[in-house]
Amino acid sequence: MPKLRIFLVDDHPIVRKGLKALIVEQSDMEVVGEAGDGKTALSQVKELQPNVMILDFSLPDMNGFQVVERVKQICPGTNVLVLTIHEASGYLRQMFQAGASGYLLKRTAGEELAQALRIVAAGGAYLDPTLAGRMVSTLVNQSVSKNKSLVVGSKLSDREREVLRLIALGYSNKEIAIQLDLSAKTIETYKARLIEKLGLSSRSELVRYALNQGWLQD
C-alpha cells in the first residue's frame, strides 16, 4: 500500500525537523518535501503532488489563507492540515473557508498529528479537540437566519442537527452511534441524508457548512 506523501511548510527549520521525526515513526507515511516560505511551498507542491500539506499559518512572505487558496487552485488533490499556535475562532473559520481540511494546534501536535494526517488524507475534516470542546455549541433551537442557506438548515430534524453537530466535532460514525444509542449504519444514513439535503458532497463539507453558518461558536 502506498505511503501517505506529506509536505511540510514552516519557516522554522527546527519545527520542520521535529515534525519530520514524528512522521517517519509512522509506517504508512513519508515526508516528500519541505519549505520555509509560501512561494517555495507552492512551487514544490505543484511538482510533488503530496497527499497532505502541513501548513504553518505565519510565513515570511504569505499568510495561511493565501497559501491554502492557492494550493486548492493548483493542486486540488492535496489536502491541507493547518498547524498553528493561533487558537482564536476567527483564524479557524477563515482557514476552513479558504479550503483547509484540518486545524491542529502546535502544542497538541505530538499526540494528535498522526491521527489528523490520516483523517485529512482520507478526505475527512479534523479539528483540534481542544478547540472543538471550546467552540461548539448546540445546533438545536437555532433561530432561522435571513440567509437562504440557513433556511435549508432549518429544515433539518433535531436528530439530524445533533448528528451534524457531532460530525463537526470530529467524531467518527461509531463514536456518534455510541453517544446517540444508534447503529453506525444508521449514522451513515443520517450523514448521507444531510449531504443530500444541504447539497454538499463530503464529510469535510458538512464541517465547513457548520462553520460558515456560525454554528460553531465560542
pLDDT tens for 91-148 read: 888 888 889 999 999 888 888 899 999 999 999 889 887 777 665 443 323 333 333 3
Please check whether residues 101 and 43 belong to one and the same domain. yes
Whole-model pTM: value is: 0.64
Pick the more confident residue, 42 or 171: 42
In the chain, the number of structural domains is 2
Percent of the chain exceeding pLDDT 70 equals: 85
Helices marked H in the chain:
13-24, 38-48, 64-74, 89-98, 109-121, 129-135, 148-154, 158-169, 173-180, 184-198, 203-212
Distance CA(9)–CA(42), nearest Å, equals 10
Please check whether residues 20 and 79 belong to one and the same domain. yes
Answer yes or no: is 14 within a domain: yes
Q: Band the pLDDT of 218: cuts 50, 70, 90.
A: very low
Output the average pLDDT for the chain.
Answer: 82
> How do residues 166-204 score in pLDDT, each as one tens digit?
887 777 888 888 989 889 889 888 888 888 777 776 777
Pick the more confident residue, 54 or 218: 54
With a cut of 90, say whether residue 23 has pLDDT above it: yes
Q: Which three cell numbers stand for residue 138?
A: 448546540
Distance CA(55)–CA(16), nearest Å, equals 10
Answer yes or no: is 139 within a domain: no
Answer yes or no: is 88 within a domain: yes
Answer yes or no: is 120 within a domain: yes
Please check whether residues 124 and 152 belong to one and the same domain. no
| Rg of the chain, C-alpha, whole Å | 18
Asked which of 128, 162, 186 is the last residue of a domain, the reply is 128
Answer yes or no: is 135 within a domain: no
Residue span of the structural domain in which 170 resides: 148-212
Pick the more confident residue, 146 or 47: 47
Please check whether residues 172 and 119 belong to one and the same domain. no
Please check whether residues 101 and 208 belong to one and the same domain. no
Q: Band the pLDDT of 75: cuts 50, 70, 90.
A: very high
Distance CA(79)–CA(67), nearest Å, equals 12
Phi, psi of 17 (to 5 degrees): -65, -45
Please check whether residues 116 and 165 belong to one and the same domain. no
Please check whether residues 107 and 177 belong to one and the same domain. no
83 φψ region: left (φ > 0), alpha (ψ -120 to 50), beta (else): beta
With a cut of 70, say whether residue 162 has pLDDT above it: yes
